[in-house]
Structures are given as C-alpha cells and as structure tokens.
Amino acid sequence: MKRLVLMLSFFLAVLTAFAETPVWDVQSDTWTATDGLGRTLPDAAEVGQPKPDKQIGMFYFLWHGRHGDQGPFDISKILTKDPAVIQNENSPLWGPLYAPHHWSESVFNYYVGEDEYVLRKHAVMLADAGVDVIIFDVTNQLTYPESYRPLCKVFSELRKDGNKTPQIAFLTPFWQPEKVVKELWKDFYSKGDYADLWYRWKGKPLILADKNLFVLAPYQYDFQSKIPSEAAQGHSVGQSFVSEKPMEQIAVPIPTWATNDSSATLALYEKTPGGKKLSSKKFENICDNHWYALEFTPPLPAGSYYLELTNDKGKVGWWSTLKEDKFPELQGYKDGKAVNEVRSLRLAAETDDPETKKILDFFTFRKPQPDYFAGPTGPDQWSWLEVHPQHGFYTSENIPDQNGHCKKIEQVSVGIGQNAVDGKLGVLSNPRSHGRSFHNGKEPPPEEQDFTGRNYIEQWNRAFELDPEFVFITGWNEWIAGRFPRTAPFHGSKEQAVNFVDQFNREYSRDIEPMTGGHQDLFYYQMIAFNRKFKGARTIEPVKRQDITIDGKFDDWTNVSPEFRDTIGDPAHRNSRGWGKDSQYTNETGRNDIIAAKVSYSEKKDTLYFYVRTKEPITGKGEPDWLQLRIDTDCDAETGKFGYDVVIKPENGTNVSLNANELELAVPVSALKLKELPKQILFKWTDGIKENADWPDFTRNGDTAPNDRYNYRAVLP
C-alpha cells in the first residue's frame, strides 16, 4: 500500500509539472541596457527573431557555506594588503591550507547557499538573461540538498506568481557518478519533488553522467592506485586477471602526466602474455587519468585473461600499486615480464538491479567530458569547459563523417576563463593561465588586461561557428577555491608558494555573477548580449496611444499598449547568515512590488502620460526613496547619471493621481526640456532606491521596473 501511495504521489507531481499555468511574460529580451563600458544590448533588428530551438545552460554552484564556517578569506583583499604574499605560504593573511578562499566579493556579499534573498535575485537575473537551465555542480560526490532545496522552493514561489525561472539539472562526478545519481534519484527525482523545475532534454529530465557506468555494473579490482606505471613509447605494461562473471567491459585508468597528444592500444588476450588475442582498440589524444575501455558483445565468459597497454605515441601509463597477497589472481607485467605491481581494472557486467534500470529509463544521459582539450571521445557527451577553439559535441544520430563534418552539433561550452597553463590543465593562479583577457593564444601582461572579456568573446565566436542546439556557460557563482602549496600535483603550481586551481582573482576567475568593485556587472550584460545573439529577441511594439485624464479611474489606460512588465515578487527582504561564524546580512528596502507600467501621449504630442501598477496597495508615500520615474529622453547613456536626464518624484507633482495599487501622471514635453515629442524614450520606475543610486542599488535594493540596469524602451510616433 505504501508503495502505491508513493507511485501515485510521483505521477501527480509529474502531471502538475505539465499543467497549464499562467505565465507572466516580462519580455526581458525587449529591454535595453548600457553597461559600464558603454556597450548597449542588441535588439531584434541586430539579432533576429527568437530561435526556439536554441537553449542556454549555466553552471551553478551549491557549495557556499557547506565546507566549514571559517573565513571568508578574500584573495583579492589579501593580495591588496601584501602583493608578495603569493610567495609566502606561512603568511597569517591566508586561511588554513586547503580551506576555501573567495577570489573576491559578490555584489550579494559572501553569501551561503540557503540565503533566499540571494536565490530570488539569482532566479530573476538568470531568467531575464535568457538562461533556460542552471546545472548544479555535484561533481565532488556531494549533492548539497541543504542548498538545492531552498533554491527549488524560491524558484517555485516565483513560478506560482507566473514568473519564468530557469529549470534545473545536475552535473555528476566524471568517473564515479553512481553514488550521486542514485542519491539524487532516491532523495529527489523518484519522489517527484519540484517536477516543474526539471529540465527536460529530448523528452526526459537531463542528467550529466556516464550512462555506461550504470548499464554496466563494476564488480572487481577498482582499488586505490598510487603508482603511475609508465610504458615507454613502443613498450607495454600489462596485467593478468580472473573474471568471475561474464565480462561485457574492461576499463583501465591511463595517466598521461598532463599531456594531451598521446595514443595507446589496449589489447585483451587469453590467460597470459602470448595467448590468443581476443580484442584490441587504439585510443588517440588520451585524456589524463581517464578510464578507457574494451567492450564485448556478446559477453566473454568468466575465466583467466591478460590485458596489455602499449604506448603508440607520447607519454602513457597505467595506475597501479604494489602487489599484495589479497590479489593472488592478479599479476602485473612490463614488456611481458612479471613485476611486483598490480594494476587497477574495472570489470563490468550488465546490471540486473531493478532500481538502476528505472534510473536508466528515467533520464536523458549525457556523459560529461572533464578535459579542456580532447573534445568528444564518442557520441552523447557534453563539455563543461574547454580552451579555444572548443569542440562540437554530437549525438549518436549525428556522428561526424570521416572528414569530421557533423550535420548537427548538439552542444558547445563557453567559458569566462580556464585553468589551463601551456596547453595543460593547471592552476588559475599561474599568470600564464587563461584569464578573462586571454585571446589569440596568450594571456596579456597585467598592463594590457582589461574588463572587455576577450576570452569570452573568442569562445562565443567559436560557438557561433559551430551553431549548436545548446550552449553550456561556465559559470555563474563558483567564487571559492581551496589553497594548495607549491608541492600540489597541478601543472603550473611550482612557480608560486600558494596556489589556487579554479579561481584566483578578478582576472583569473570565471564567474559572471556581478562583483563588488572590479568589473562590477560588465560580464552579466556581456552574457546577455551573446545570449540574445544566440537565441534572438522579440521586436518592441510601438506605443498605441490614448488621451489620458488624470483622475484616478485608470479605465482610459485599457487600450494603451504595450504593457511593460516587471517580475512579480522580486523585492525580497534579507535576513540570513553569511560565510563565517558571525556574519549576518539584512536588507529591508523592498516595499512596493512594481509589476507593470504603460506610456501614452496626447493627440497634440505635447504631453506624455505614465502609468504604474504594483501587486499590493502602494505604501511609503513621503519617504525619500518612494516611487520615482527615471527617464532617458535622448537614449544616450552618456548624458545624465546612467543616462537619466530627468528623475520625477510623483509625490511632488500636481498632475498625479494615486488610487490603491495604481498611479498615473502627466508630464508636459517642455518639462522634459524637449522642444517636441521624441521618437523614443527609455524609462524606469524605482521604489526603495534613492535618487542618487549607484548601479548595485538597482540590483540589491527595493524594486526596479525593469530590473537591475535595464530600461524599458517606449517607441513613439
């Protein structure tokens, strides 16, 4: 009976997810904005109409506040205090060895994963930017339910009001995903929790995991290996072993010592060296420390075998350990001669676990490729980050021909920066790594580094060449990296006493979420510009006018269009702990939830009319940060602060009417210091934000319509 109830609950949740719900479409792709470098977002005339077959995913991190309560240790602030501290691992400025360090401070401070104020801001900012799905990083064997459940709760609340939010998916461990996938299935997907948020790709919820590691269950000899036993070019390392079950696959982990142009051949023989050859396969451009496999259809019978790895080119080996008595059936070989080593194997047979079979049928699997250089090693793989020029990843239905041409590329990754040094996976703290300014194959010197995102531009240009269905962007909010010593086993780590692999400072980092200071929100708007170029945008509807009487009745606004909309439920209050033991963040500036606005003009074209509507009755009149209308009359961001030539405070006007949750006002064109009605204006309503606000205020405080730096564009006759 209990099982039946669970099944009914699951199907009810799924049906609810597909139920028809009203959508409050704010049409953010028609909003305009000019960033701090004077770059204005493209519109439909520049990028074309919407392309519904194009999708964008954003790498998203759940780990904030989940790895201890020390800190925050801000690398950028530490380097400002002592620029030479990178060569002093014992400096008291650093946090403990291996402890998470922030590369800098988010515009939302050093937040933790359950801060619902931040989660609401993320949902709105990413939806406005055209991001379809956020892909959670659970690659380190932790699923972070303490973070993803609050996020799902906040996203669902926004959706109940009709808002769009990104959907969700998970990127699981590259080599051993079984634990994480089964945990996500047991704790989340099998229960039908938040099914309306599941991102569906090719008809099923997407999960980035190696499907073969579920289809084929490992059953022997996957032990901890410490010795990378090397095979010189033209030479071999091998292993005899016993398979206790019919064998469908055998895989080995191959180190290449951070090189990426090696090739090797795996060959399987009967019993011992010199036996009958049963199977072989050559592998090109081997990825360091990846598992490589031979597959057998039909399965080979249980029995004794010998597997040999031969170096065809470059530098390859086989992860091994010293021979122990508990593995008497294993014997390592080098060039056909027995040695005192045994090597890690992963033997596999088809799983007969019914729960695993449910998982296999439930998801659309895409195998994540961890390597930045190798590209796809087969179909149905996705990349998360690559160096330029990135590869196109394809499906089993669109395998490239012998010339490498593919009819349809499914996925391409695009990144802000990459921890790659001299063509190898390395540390971002190395000055030769691929920072935000990296382009044309090199990282410029510090005096030539800037905020223009040349790395990101180069990566997107490659994506446009490949024209995929899906672009995976890395990333939104990683922010932290562990501190490693000079002796850490990463390429490029020997040149400084202190090392950070995945994040380091403003230049050597890969987050798009706006930061405090530095490049501010430049990469956010640069992302939006590229997203629009990839996905297209809708055309702005010209204003359909009506003479308006300012009488507080509002019925004469009915036929005026367009209606300029804003997110419902976004002026959130904040009261949450931050990173560290004693931090607490509060923000109570959210007051009136602005949800819609309109513009009209008189028949004589001598007066502009403005209308604004909030979710609840308008409060706070008389307070200095009450409702304000900011107008850019010449559509020039260089005139006036953030382009606003006029800021109107309706409470000070004589031709204003307020009734419950609606307000209207008339503004003579002459009062805007204009001789005639302009062809278009940009405008924005704010509440809970002071007149002299800086850009972070539009993101952090009160409510703005439209959100953040955006403006509405009213096209007039």
Does residue 467 form part of some domain? Answer: yes
Does residue 31 form part of some domain? Answer: no
What is the distance between the alpha carbons of residues 31 and 8, in angstroms, rounded to a whole number? 43
What is the distance between the alpha carbons of residues 250 and 344, in angstroms, rounded to a whole number? 11
Check residue 611 and give left, alpha or beta (phi > 0: left; psi -120 to 50: alpha). beta
pLDDT value at residue 328 = 87
Does residue 537 form part of some domain? Answer: no
What is the distance between the alpha carbons of residues 460 and 466, in angstroms, rounded to a whole number? 10
The stretch 73-83 carries a mean pLDDT of 97
pTM of the model: 0.88
Q: Which residue did the predictor score with more confidence, 440 or 21?
A: 440
Looking at the fold, whether 312 and 337 belong to one and the same domain comes out as yes
Helix or strand or coil: residue 183?
A: helix
pLDDT value at residue 17 = 46
pLDDT value at residue 14 = 46
pLDDT value at residue 677 = 95
Looking at the fold, whether 159 and 185 belong to one and the same domain comes out as yes
Does residue 549 form part of some domain? Answer: no
Residues β-bridged to residue 473: 58, 414
pLDDT value at residue 631 = 97
Domain that holds residue 660: 555-715
pLDDT value at residue 4 = 46
- CB-based burial label for 228 (10 Å; 0-12, 13-18, 19+): middle
Q: What is the rounded average pLDDT for all residues in the chain?
A: 93
Q: Which pLDDT band holds residue 289 (cuts at 50, 70, 90)?
A: confident
Which of 458, 491, 517 is the last residue before a domain boundary?
Answer: 517
Question: CB–CB of 346/250 below 8 Å?
Answer: yes
The stretch 476-481 carries a mean pLDDT of 98
Percent of the chain at pLDDT > 90 equals 85
The stretch 445-472 carries a mean pLDDT of 97
- CB-based burial label for 327 (10 Å; 0-12, 13-18, 19+): middle
DSSP per-residue string spanning 588-643: ------EEEEEEEE-TTS-EEEEEEEESS----TTSTTS-EEEEETT--TTSSGGG
Q: Which pLDDT band holds residue 693 (cuts at 50, 70, 90)?
A: very high
Does residue 30 form part of some domain? Answer: no
Whether residue 604 has pLDDT greater than 80: yes
**CA proximity to 456, closest of 391, 400, 529, 362:** 529
Question: CB–CB of 707/126 below 8 Å?
Answer: no
Whether residue 323 has pLDDT greater than 70: yes
What is the distance between the alpha carbons of residues 22 and 161, in angstroms, rounded to a whole number? 8
The stretch 641-668 carries a mean pLDDT of 92
What is the C-alpha end-to-end distance of the chain, expressed in Å?
67
Which of 517, 547, 571 is the last residue before a domain boundary?
Answer: 517
pLDDT value at residue 21 = 54
- CB-based burial label for 202 (10 Å; 0-12, 13-18, 19+): exposed
Looking at the fold, whether 66 and 79 belong to one and the same domain comes out as yes
Looking at the fold, whether 377 and 481 belong to one and the same domain comes out as yes
Per-residue model confidence as pLDDT tens digits over 345-387: 989 888 888 999 999 999 999 999 999 998 998 899 999 999 9
The stretch 429-435 carries a mean pLDDT of 97
Looking at the fold, whether 504 and 385 belong to one and the same domain comes out as yes
Does residue 526 form part of some domain? Answer: no
Q: Which pLDDT band holds residue 502 (cuts at 50, 70, 90)?
A: very high
pLDDT value at residue 342 = 94
Does residue 473 form part of some domain? Answer: yes
Looking at the fold, whether 575 and 696 belong to one and the same domain comes out as yes
Looking at the fold, whether 174 and 272 belong to one and the same domain comes out as no
Q: Which residue did the predictor score with more confidence, 476 or 22?
A: 476
Q: Which pLDDT band holds residue 217 (cuts at 50, 70, 90)?
A: confident
Whether residue 2 has pLDDT greater than 50: no
In the block, residue with structure tokens 């990846």: 290
Whether residue 470 has pLDDT greater than 80: yes
pLDDT value at residue 73 = 97
Least confident of 7-21, 135-149, 170-184, 385-399: 7-21
Looking at the fold, whether 578 and 608 belong to one and the same domain comes out as yes
- CB-based burial label for 617 (10 Å; 0-12, 13-18, 19+): exposed
What is the distance between the alpha carbons of residues 84 and 710, in angstroms, rounded to a whole number? 40
pLDDT value at residue 686 = 98
Looking at the fold, whether 401 and 510 belong to one and the same domain comes out as yes
Which of 467, 499, 517 is the last residue before a domain boundary?
Answer: 517
Q: Which residue did the predictor score with more confidence, 16 or 62?
A: 62
What is the distance between the alpha carbons of residues 106 and 504, in angstroms, rounded to a whole number? 14
pLDDT value at residue 13 = 46
Looking at the fold, whether 371 and 513 belong to one and the same domain comes out as yes
Looking at the fold, whether 310 and 376 belong to one and the same domain comes out as no
Does residue 486 form part of some domain? Answer: yes
CATH label of the domain that carries residue 325: 2.60.120.820
**Regarding beta strands 646-648 and 628-632, do their DSSP bridges make them parallel or antiparallel, or are they unpaired?**
antiparallel
Query: Structurally, how many domains does the chain consist of?
Result: 3
Looking at the fold, whether 637 and 691 belong to one and the same domain comes out as yes
Question: CB–CB of 144/113 below 8 Å?
Answer: yes
pLDDT value at residue 403 = 73
Q: Is the dihedral of CA 474, 478, 479, 482 positive or negative?
A: negative
Least confident of 45-54, 398-407, 621-630: 398-407
CATH label of the domain that carries residue 422: 3.20.20
- CB-based burial label for 14 (10 Å; 0-12, 13-18, 19+): middle
Whether residue 6 has pLDDT greater than 50: no
Least confident of 61-70, 197-206, 310-319, 660-669: 61-70
Q: For residue 403, what is the DSSP state?
A: T
